[in-house]
A and B are shown apart, each in its own frame.
Chain A
Amino acid sequence: MGIASRLALLFRAKANKAIDRAEDPRDVLDYSYQRQLEMLTQVRRGLADVATSGRRLDLQANQLQQSADKLHDQASEALEVGREDIAREALNRRAAALDQLAELGPQRESLRNDEQKLTLAAQRLQTKVESFRSRKETVKATYTAAEAQTRINESVAGISEEMGDVGLAMQRAEDKTAQMQARSQALDGLLSSGALDDVTSLSGRNDDIQKELDSARGGSQVELELAQMKRQLSGPSRAEAVVGRPGQTAPVPVDGSAPAVESPPAADNQEEGGGRG
């Protein structure tokens, strides 16, 4: 016998157990209906949990995206002022934040899937419960023939299978939500520790780094302006070499060759920097 047949037998056995237990079959109807109402309540609660988890994931994704954007800005800012160490640290954190973000995507997707399926399952169960209730009343009113017994069994077995199915779906959703909540909490911890946040909020180093970044930035602003002025004075030369070297005030080439800045502006003679050769 295949798996599908065995599963079907299992569900039927469960239903039969409930039916056999009662002495008066009509009790089964009331008992089962009671259970159905409880199940409906549980399913609605489960659905609310899934929705809450989803919103939390959305929030965290937003936070991570903001962190990543901020860290990117900080990295380029740091690089602009020649602080490659800070830039590296910022980019490292950005990569970590983006990793987390990439993990959230499929989780969110699967949660959305669960929510959809569970919503449909709840609607289905609701309709079946209503149908069961009206049958229950009819059967109870006409309970005389042996035929009624069969109808009770059918209805109870049918709804019992549905409840078993919904119960399993709920359990799966609950397991998944619990896992995600644990992960969410870990991520919250990570976010609030600043490990995925901007480099300037690193505890302890906080003020130092921000001050250094600020002062270096202020200094480099001067450099930038200086460089720009020099460029205007000396025409199209390589004055941009100044950018990102905050310690220096003049564009001194490092390779030891003579500075080529003395050439007259707009001199369209032979190739520039002809000191070599």
Chain B
Amino acid sequence: MIIRILGEGQFDMDDVEHLNVLDDWLQAAADADDEAAFDQALNTLLTAVREEGRPVADDDLVVSDLVLPHDGASLSDVRAMLGDEGLIPGRST
């Protein structure tokens, strides 16, 4: 499974069960508008992927199954990305 950390690149991971659990935490924290819990869940997620994942080669062109917000992203950063598609640049609309 390919996982991207925004701003850091892609990682290849075999076992992602616990990541899905953490991703649900992240969602729950966002739903509850709990910035501290969101921070903690995101940090745990990022650390897990960095430690357990194998970096994808730079010349590989693969699509990610999961995309994680960048390190230090706030709730409002993530809302902006999810809420308004125009906020993701990279091609014309």
Contacts and interface: CB of A to CB of B under 8 A. Distances in A.
Nearest to B65: A8
A2 B24 contact: yes
A164 B6 CA distance: 9
A166 interface: yes
B18 interface: no
Interface residues of B, number: 36
Given A7-B67, A128-B59, A172-B70, A167 B89 contact: yes
Interface string A2-16: 111111101111110
Interface residues on A, range: 35 or more
B67 A11 contact: yes
A167 B90 contact: yes
Contact of B7 (A4, A127, A154, A168): A168
A7 B78 CA distance: 9
Given A2-B23, A3-B69, A4-B67, A159 B61 contact: yes
B17 to A, nearest CB: 13
A91 interface: no
A119 to B, nearest CB: 12
A3 B82 contact: yes
Contacts of A160: 90-91
B63 A12 contact: yes
Interface stretch (A49-57, A97-105, A129-137, A201-209): A129-137
Interface of A: 1-8, 10-15, 18, 32, 35, 39, 117, 120-121, 123-124, 127-128, 130-132, 135, 154-155, 157-172
A-B complex: 4 closest residue pairs judged by Cβ atoms: A2-B23, A158-B61, A167-B89, A164-B90
